[in-house]
A and B are shown apart, each in its own frame.
Chain A
Amino acid sequence: METLQASWQGLSVLFTWPVFGLMLVGTAIGLGFGLLPGLGGGITAMALVLPFVWGADPFFAVAILAAILGSTGTSGNFSATLFNVPGSPSNAATILDAYPLARQGQAGRALGAAFTSSAMGGILGALVLALTIPIVRPLVLLFASPERFMLVLMAVFAIGALAGSKPLRGLLAGAVGLLLSLIGMDPQSGVPRYTFDQSNLVYGMALLPLIMGLFALPEVIDLALRGRIASEDNPVSSNQGGVVRGILDSFVHWRTVLRGTVIGIIGGIMPAVGGTGSAFWAYAYEAQACKKDGKFGKGDIRGVIAPETANNAVTPGDLIPTVAFGIPGSAMAAVMMAGLIMVGITPGPAMLKEHLPLTFFVAWTIAASNLIGTAACLLLTNPLSRVSRVPAGTIVPFVIMFVFLGSYLEQTQMSDVVLALLIGALGYVMMRQSWPRSPLLVGFILGALAERYFFTSYEAWGLEFILRPVTLILAIILVASLIYPFLRRPSKSPLPGDAE
């Protein structure tokens, strides 16, 4: 009963002012960043929006952030279909059939199917998230410090080991994140650690410069180097005539939609798979399932529906471990978690216990932004597709300006802007050399929690805390997920973390 009430409360808040307006703003931002390939999609958008939600009402902050999460993947279809350039990495699998369809004069059909299936995946995924909350809540509340410590370690190191084709680099990135989280005064003893006698480091390293430097700056440097956003070579016309046919295709192939949704949700829950991995997984599964009558790679509409359903269902799936256990499974979820922390909410058991309506609100916002984003894309196909052609040189200085302002905001210190620049240099080298960046962020966000849970467990049970049954099972899963990537055969195709 309490859960139902909280769910209704979360839904009713969505339709109040200014929450609904903020959700629309978030949806517009998400669509904008999806439209502009090379800007890094939702993660850059969320990073740049974080300064604005600093200290805001949690519902206001979630309305914007969750709407960005829900809508970015949808608009990425424009450039994927018309220019053969994915709007965000998660649209990469869509290109395989959407672009051939567009070249056959069926761009409208491909776009219609992509938008509709994106909405279906996002809404079904959000419903699963809402239904999962009451199931996992009692389980999560039973977990004590040792189990939570293990979960935090799993979040940092499993993501590190599973992201990309070089697990060692992911683990190293996670360790760097943990190390950076140790900067500042030790909460147990009051000893300043790694502060180098700098008073501005006593309370730890600020989160915003890290996020801005790690994700926004590398993308903007890369964009500035490429000089243009989408390829102007052979752009195809967005023939709107087939849009309705594309919408109907998504309903005709409802089995493909369901399969894509299930794969997306599972991919979201699993660490490090993310939108890109799930979309390729759904595409490969669909191509295998329809081997007899399929024209995959040559313009099969199911090759558009499957990845698009999956990459939008990933977001709610990704948020299940984030809101339930406080362990983000991807960089996007980590930034969402950072946003929640900034407004005083700690995702995990505490959020499920004390902020249940807000937890449901996340799911409803994602569903609503998916629906509204899809409607906007369907109604404004032609004008929106033109946005993809904005020259990179126009956007780059604006993004740099937001990075500087955002980094400055948290502690109003110029040293944080310098810090963002230094982290940006590190982030760019990591991006260029295919080192996964998300484990670093996850390590940084969860570092303080890891240390706290470790000490609480150690003081209560000594090192024997590891022998508690659930802790032991989690430890075995962690060790297995660390060993597995080293045993698997080297893959010739890029893994999810590579395209991060």
Chain B
Amino acid sequence: MTVKKGIISADLLLSVGLALAFGGALLQATRWPHQASLFPIVVGSSGLVLAVVEIGNHLRNRNKPEMLQGDQIEPAAGLWRQDFGTFAWIVGILAATFLAGFQWGLPAVIMLYYRFQSKQKLFLVVILTGLCWGVVYAWTALLHLTLYPGLLARLVPWE
């Protein structure tokens, strides 16, 4: 299956981002002593050249339809929006962990995920969330870890 590429695509943005990263890395490396900068300069300059060539390739072939490879997904309208939706849930889980820690924040948002995103029955939601909580508990016990307690626990030390 082929798909027509636009002028600005995820590929181009990724290549430009990498070119900027390599350029920045190269610039910073020039400020270090010779011994510390030699390898970063080699890597930075090679990466920059590769990224610029990739950008050039993309711009040169921008009007050619591209063959979809392997299990690559056809970029249908709204697909990126769905990606962002899923990614937003992951960011939400992270935010809750920051706020309420691994032991409470993480299972709480996972419970919301089960209820509203994967639309599970209430009793399954309770069981699966309990299982998540149990895994976090077992994790800390098995690995003798002190997990991040969350900002709220620092502000309101209830334990």
Cβ contacts A328-365/B at 8 Å (1 or 0 each): 00000000000000000000000000000000000000
Interface string of A161-201 (1 = CB under 8 A from B): 00011001101100110110010001011010110000000
Please, how many angstroms separate the alpha-carbon atoms of A409 and B86 in the complex?
24
Contacts A397-B110, A401-B106, A498-B72 given; does A186 touch B118 at CB 8 Å: no
Report the separation of the CA atoms of residues A424 and B135 in the bound assembly, to the nearest whole angstrom: 23
Chain A contact residues, majority secondary structure: helix
Are A217 and B21 in touch, CB under 8 angstroms?
Answer: no
The answer to whether the Cβ of A15 comes within 8 Å of any Cβ in the partner chain is no
Which residues of the other chain, B, contact A432 by a CB distance below 8 angstroms?
Answer: 10, 72-73, 83
CB of A239 closer than 8 Å to a CB of B? no
B71–A499 touching, CB < 8 Å: yes
Q: How far is the CA of A428 from the CA of B73 in the complex (A)?
A: 12
Q: Which of A188, A392, A400, A494 has the largest count of B CB atoms less than 10 A from its CB?
A: A400
Provide a sorted-by-A list of 17 A–B residue pairs whose CB atoms are within 8 angstroms: A176-B18, A176-B21, A179-B25, A182-B39, A186-B36, A193-B28, A392-B118, A393-B120, A400-B93, A401-B106, A401-B110, A408-B147, A414-B97, A421-B91, A432-B83, A433-B11, A450-B39
Q: Which residues of chain B (1-51) have a CB below 8 Å from chain A?
A: 10-11, 14-15, 18, 21-22, 25, 28-29, 32-33, 35-36, 39-40, 43-44, 46-47, 50-51
Contact indicator B14/A492 (Cβ below 8 Å): no
Q: Is A384 an interface residue (CB 8 A)?
A: no
Q: Are A191 and B118 in contact (CB under 8 A)?
A: no
Q: Of B18, B73, B93, which contacts A172 at CB under 8 A? A: B18
Once the chains bind, are B35 and A408 in contact (CB under 8 Å)?
no
**Residues of chain B within 8 A of A105, CB atoms compared:** none
Given A400-B93, A408-B147, A418-B94: A454 in contact with B128 (beta carbons within 8 A): no
Residues of A388-425 contacting chain B, CB below 8 A = 391-394, 396-398, 400-401, 404-405, 408-409, 412, 414, 417-418, 421, 424-425
CB distance from A343 to the nearest CB of B (A): 15
A96 to chain B, nearest CB (A): 15
With a CB–CB cut-off of 8 A, which chain A residues contact B119?
393
The answer on a CB contact under 8 Å between B87 and A193 is no
B67 at the interface (CB under 8 A from A): yes
Chain B residues positioned under 8 Å from A300 (CB to CB): none
Instruction: Write out the residue numbers on chain B whose beta carbons fall within 8 Å of the beta carbon of A1.
Output: none
**Contact in complex: B90, A169 (CB < 8 Å):** no
Report the 4 A-B pairs with minimum CB-CB distance, sorted nearest first. Answer: A393-B118, A498-B70, A175-B47, A494-B70
Query: Which among B69, B90, B91 is the interface contact of A434 at CB below 8 angstroms?
Result: B69
CB of A208, distance to nearest CB on chain B (Å): 13
Provide the residues of chain B in CB contact with A176, threshold 8 Å.
18, 21, 47
User: Given that A189-B35, A414-B148 are contacting pairs, would A179 and B22 also be in contact in the complex, using a CB cutoff of 8 Å?
Assistant: yes
Q: Are B25 and A168 in contact (CB under 8 A)?
A: no
> Hey, which chain B residues are within 8 Å of A172, CB to CB?
15, 18, 47, 50-51, 54
Given A168-B57, A172-B47, check contact A188 B35 (CB 8 Å).
yes
A397 and B72: CB pair below 8 A? no
Taking the closest CB of chain B, its distance from the CB of A378, in whole angstroms, is 29
**Whole-angstrom distance between the alpha carbons of A436 and B86 in the complex?**
22
Q: Does B53 contact A (CB under 8 A)?
A: yes
Query: Of A165, A168, A217, A414, which is within 8 A of B90 by CB?
Result: A217
B78-96 with Cβ < 8 A to chain A = 82-83, 86-87, 89-91, 93-94
Q: How far is the CA of A430 from the CA of B40 in the complex (A)?
A: 23
Q: Which of the listed residues A188, A495, A500 has the most CB atoms from chain B within 10 Å of its own CB?
A: A188
